[in-house]
Structure 1
Amino acid sequence: MGLPLLLPLLLLLLLLLLLLPPASLQGDHWAQPKALFHFGMNQQKQLSAPEGGSIRIPFSFDYSQDSGSVSNVKISWRWKHFHGDFIYKTTPRLIHKNFKNRLLLNWEEDMKNGSLQISNLRREDEGSYFCQVEMITEKYGEQKWQSIQGTELTITHAAKTATPGPTTSASTAATTAADLWDLEGKRSSGSWLLNKEAVVRLALPSAVLKIAILGLMVFLRWKRSKGLQTKARTPARGSFQNLEEKYENIGNKEQQTDPKECHKRSSSDLA
């Protein structure tokens, strides 16, 4: 073979070697391109709960199905922002001092979902919460990923109900009448007239009962005062009658005296 024919073949071989990437040649065989690890993290965007109550922040994650066996799975939670402080870790065990005795992770190692429960909520617990997953895969080695947006938690004021104090029957009737007035006042004028009759019906029995009790008290006082006056007058009448009887007896004795005797007495008195 002459030199003129060999030179084009060498140039063609050199061109093919330049077109092939260097990493594709490994030990006399074609190497496969390196596979990528796919992962994902899902969290609810916003949640709210009352102060003093409790809340569960749910999460779920997934990863490449061809990862092989998975081990040493760890769940962690950050607070406030993406690079914020850790408030919870499964390994090594960690709970932030602000959440002491208030955090509970509902999750098991073979599960891809769970929730972080926060109890006895405080106003300062407001903020964003980010879940982070870490594991060792058979094919891709150690992997770690975290939610980007997290969950925004809002703490609302707890509703307070006032305890009503003891009320009398009259005040209860008045309150019921006022409630009927407010309720019916929002309707037509005809309903307002019916409401007015209801108010009168509710107030009338109470007024009649009060008048009856007042009349009974006045009658008992009058009867009692009359009895005292009768007792006070009775001895005076008896003594007056005894005095009249005494005068009558004296008069009778004088009438029974003999006139002759009276004449003798008067003659002796003249002598």
Structure 2
Amino acid sequence: MALLVSLPGRIPDMAWVLLLLLPAACLQAGNPEGSNRESLYGLDQPTHVSGVLGGSIEIPFFFYFPWKLAPDPQMRILWRWKHYHGEIIYNSSSGFIHEHFKDRLILNWTQPQTSGVLRILDLKKKDQTVYFCRVHLKTTNRMKGFQSIDGTQLTVGPAVSTTVQSPSIVTSAVTMAGLEDTEGQRNRSLVYLGATVGVVVATAVLITPVYVMLIFLWWKKRPAD
């Protein structure tokens, strides 16, 4: 809320400028992003990744902190799923893997690295949810633990199938087409031959009686011996 101040002369104009600048200054002072990142700690991972059924995906992560590590930092990476306080599905220190992900989770990370990748193999529809990375480490003072707030949303889509006919199938189809065409030509040839024979026979049947009649008449008219 702006406080109205009545001052003589041109001073009210300056007061308005100061009042307008004040909220921005307050926001800057209260915004942790305006602070030096070295004094903060946190964990970064992508907001969304996608894959297909039966395929695999990778969720990269990176963490940072200002503390001095103990000689033996005892770093370990844990992963949760579904929500911020969801079940643990992976524990790097014990090698624990949730039954649903048995033989399907691979963590590419080694101490004291501050980045790594979680890989999920043979994706299933039930894998579609949110995943949260959590880090535990030992400082010179005590154990510290922190986790991604938003996590990574995994989307699993249907597998894309591409049907490609093999050369043998194509060749077989072409051969069959050729045989069918040849057989059709042969059948047509037989039909033409049959029609021709039929015409010849019919012509012979019609002409023969005429020739017989002509021969009979010629024989009747010939002079007697």
Q: Does 1:237 align with 2:204?
A: no
Query: Which aligned pairs between 1:1-271 and structure 2 lie closer than 5 A?
Result: 39-64=41-66, 66-137=68-139, 139-159=140-160, 225=195, 227-234=197-204, 237-238=207-208, 240-242=210-212, 244-254=214-224, 256=225
Structure 1 residue 235 displacement after superposition: 5.3
In 2: Cα distance, 1:148 partner to 1:246 partner? 122
Structure 1 residue 95 displacement after superposition: 0.9
Query: Aligned to 1:78, what secondary structure does the other structure show?
Result: strand
Structure 1 residue 250 displacement after superposition: 4.8
Structure 1 residue 120 displacement after superposition: 2.5
In 2: Cα distance, 1:67 partner to 1:134 partner? 11
Q: Quick one: structure 1 residues 125 and 234, their matched pair in 2 at CA, closer, same or farther if it must change by over 3 Å?
A: same
Q: Quick one: structure 1 residues 68 and 89, their matched pair in 2 at CA, closer, same or farther if it must change by over 3 Å?
A: closer
Paired residues of 1:49 and 1:154 also in contact (CA < 8 A): yes
Amino acid at match of 1:152: Q
Q: Quick one: structure 1 residues 70 and 41, their matched pair in 2 at CA, closer, same or farther if it must change by over 3 Å?
A: farther
Amino acid at match of 1:116: L
Paired residues of 1:70 and 1:135 also in contact (CA < 8 A): no
Paired residues of 1:133 and 1:144 also in contact (CA < 8 A): yes
The structure with more helix, counted as a fraction of residues: 1
Tell me the C-alpha RMSD between the 2 structures: 3.5
| TM-score, structure 2 normalization | 0.58
Amino acid at match of 1:230: V
Structure 1 residue 85 displacement after superposition: 0.7
Paired residues of 1:55 and 1:119 also in contact (CA < 8 A): yes
Q: Which runs of 5+ in 1 are unaligned?
A: 1-36, 165-216, 257-271
Q: Quick one: structure 1 residues 39 and 59, their matched pair in 2 at CA, closer, same or farther if it must change by over 3 Å?
A: same
**Paired-residue identity, %:** 31
CA offsets 1:168-205 (integer angstroms, 9 cap, x no match): xxxxxxxxxxxxxxxxxxxxxxxxxxxxxxxxxxxxxx
Amino acid at match of 1:241: Y
Task: Select the structure of larger CA radius of gyration.
Answer: 1
CA offsets 1:62-90 (integer angstroms, 9 cap, x no match): 23363353443211111112221100111
Q: Which runs of 5+ in 2 are unaligned?
A: 1-38, 166-187
Amino acid at match of 1:149: D
In 2: Cα distance, 1:234 partner to 1:70 partner? 116
In 1: Cα distance, 2:215 partner to 2:150 partner? 121
Paired residues of 1:78 and 1:86 also in contact (CA < 8 A): yes
Q: Quick one: structure 1 residues 150 and 252, their matched pair in 2 at CA, closer, same or farther if it must change by over 3 Å?
A: closer
